[in-house]
Amino acid sequence: MEQFRLPTISMPKLPLPQAIQEVLNEAEEKLAHRPKLLQLFKNCFPNTLETTTKLMDDGTTFIITGDIPASWLRDSVEQVMHYVPFAKNDPDLQRIIRGLIKRHMEYIHIDPYANAFNETANDWHWSTSDITEMSPWVWERKFEIDSLCFSMRLAYAYWKETGKADIFDAGFKAAMVKIYNLFRTEQRHSELSPYRFTRNNGIPEDTLRNNGLGMPVNYTGMVWSGFRSSDDACDFHYNIPGNMFAVVALRHMQEFAEWVFRDLEFLKELKALEADIDHGIKLYGIYRHPKFGPIYAYETDGYGNYCLMDDAGTPGLMSIPYLGYVTADDEIYQNTRRFALSNENPFYFEGTAAKGIGSPHTPKDYIWHMALSMQGLTASTKEEKLEMLAMLEATDADTGFMHEGFHVDDPNIFTRKWFAWSNSLFSQLVYKSMKDGIL
C-alpha cells in the first residue's frame, strides 16, 4: 500500500469579526443554563476562523479542512455557511466570504473536475499514485458532482443575505459556463467525458473501476459522478442527492443569469438542463421499498440497479431539505428518512452511547457527528432536535469539539480530532435551536 506523509501548513489566527463576537456574547446569555453546550458552541462556532482561514494578498480566502492542509470546495463552503446570516452589516465577514467565493471561481477555472486544491501551485497531492490529469494546484481530483454545487450555494447565500453583487464578475460568469458544460458532458459520461481516475493504493473505495471510467450507466438525464461526498467511489454513478443538489444549484444559476448577467439565452439553457436532471431523478431515482413505500435511492445506474443506503456526508438523503430540493414534509422524503434511520440502512448503527448514521468511509459501528447535526437540522419536532443536541453534547469525548466518526459504544474512540466542517454544522444546529427558543 502507498505510504505518504501529510505536509504541514501554518494558518494564522484571524481576529473574529464583530458580528461573530456578538453571537458568542448572545450564547453566553442564552445558554448559561447549559454550561457544557455553551462551551462546545464557543469552541466550535469560531473554529473555522480561528484555525483554518487565511486571507490572501490577492483578495481571496483560503480555507483548509482542518487536519488536512488542503481546501475542499464542499468542506470550505460548509465551514462558513453558519457565518453567512451575520454578514449583511459586517465588512470583515463579507471580505472573508467574498474572498472564498472568488478563490472557488479560480479553482473551477483550473480544473472543474477536482474536489480539493492547494494554497499555491506547490504540487502537493493526497496520493502520488493517481492516474488522471493532475495540476500542481490540485490536491485531489476526485470528481464529485456536489463540489461545484457548493460553490454556487455559497455565492447565492452571500448575494441574498448581503444584497451585494461584488462577486459577479466575468470570471464568475465563465465559471458558471464551465459548470454548465461539465454537467452536460457528464450526462453522457461514457460517450463524451475526458475524465478518468484510478488510484493504485489497494483501497477499492479510492479508485474507479473499468480502467478509471467507472461502471456502465444508462442515459437518464442525470449527471454522472465518480465519487460521493465522503470521497468514496460511487457504486452506481448517478448519485441521487448529488443530482438533487445540482437541480438546486441550477436554479440559483438561473437567477444569476437572469437578474445579474441579463443573459436570457443562457437562462433558457440552464432551465432545460435543470428539467432534464429533475426528470431523471423522478423517473429513475425513486425505489418502491416493500416496507417504507416509495423512497429516494442513494444511487442508481439507470439500468434498474439501486444502492439503498444513506451516508453521513452532505449531500445525503437526510440532507435533502437542507439543500432545498424539497421541504421536510415531502412524503417521499419522510419515507426516505424513516428508511435512513432504520436497520434497513446498512450504515445506521445503534449502541450504548449513541445511534445514528455512519459511512463506508469509516469502520462499522462508527456514527458521525455531522449526521447527528443534520438529523437535528432537518427534524420536524422539538423533541428530536433536543435528542440530537443531547447526543452531540454527550459524545465529544471531553475534547470540546466535534469529530468525524465515533464508536457507538465508546465516544472516546473517534476519527479526526480536528474536522472544522463538523464543528460548523453542529454550531448551525445549536444557534438555530437557540433562536427557535427550544433550548
Distance CA 94, CA 79 (A): 15
Q: Residue 228: pLDDT above 80?
A: yes
- Within a domain: residue 429? yes
Residue 17 counted as domain residue: no
In a domain, 179, yes or no: no
Stretch 23-30: mean pLDDT: 97
238: Cα separation from own chain's centroid: 17
Question: Average pLDDT of 184-200?
Answer: 97
- Binning pLDDT at 50, 70 and 90, where does residue 1 land? very low
The answer as to whether 425 is a domain residue is yes
Residues in CB range of 57: below 8 A, 6 or more apart = none
pLDDT at 119: 97
Percent of the chain having pLDDT more than 70?
Answer: 98
Band (8; pLDDT cuts 50, 70, 90): low
Whole-number pLDDT of residue 403: 95
User: In the prediction, which pLDDT does 2 show?
Assistant: 41
Integer Cα distance of 66 and 170 in angstroms: 31
Q: Sorting pLDDT into bands at 50, 70 and 90, what band is 4?
A: very low
> What stretches of 160-252 adopt beta strand conformation (E)?
198-199, 238-239
* DSSP letters for 109-140: HH-TT-SEE-SSS----S-S-EES---TTEEE
Give the DSSP letter string of 270-283. HHHHHHHHHHHHHH
In a domain, 287, yes or no: no
What single-letter DSSP state applies at residue 232?
P
Domain assignment present for residue 402? The answer is yes
Angle between helices 382-394 and 35-44 (to 10 degrees): 80
CB 327 within 8 A of CB 244: no
What mean pLDDT do residues 256-260 have?
A: 98
**Would you place residue 6 in the very low, low, confident or very high pLDDT band (cuts 50, 70, 90)?**
low
The answer to whether residues 332 and 295 touch, using CB atoms and an 8 Å cutoff, is: yes
Range of the domain at 423: 348-439
* Nearest to 246, CA basis, from 217, 216, 279, 215: 279
Count CB neighbours of 259 within 10 A: 12
297-338: per-residue pLDDT in tens? 999 999 999 999 999 999 999 999 999 999 999 999 999 999
Burial of 288 (0-12, 13-18, 19+ CB in 10 A): exposed
When pLDDT is cut at 50, 70 and 90, the band that residue 5 belongs to is: low
Percentage of the chain beyond pLDDT 90 is 94
Measured from the Cβ of residue 32, the count of other Cβ atoms closer than 10 Å reads 9
Lowest mean pLDDT of 6-15, 44-53, 208-217, name the range.
Answer: 6-15
115-144 residue pLDDT tens: 999 999 999 999 999 999 999 999 999 999
Confidence of residue 421 (pLDDT cuts 50, 70, 90): very high
Does 421 reside within a domain?
yes
Number of structural domains (the chain) is 1
Q: Average model confidence (pLDDT) for the chain? A: 96
The CA-based dihedral angle spanning residues 297, 299, 302, 306, taken in that order and rounded to the nearest 10 degrees: -60
Rounded to 10 deg, the angle between the 170-186 and 264-284 helix axes is: 30
Global pTM?
0.96
| Higher per-residue pLDDT: 427 or 2 | 427
436 lies in some domain: yes
pLDDT of residue 43: 97
Res. 10: pLDDT tops 80: no
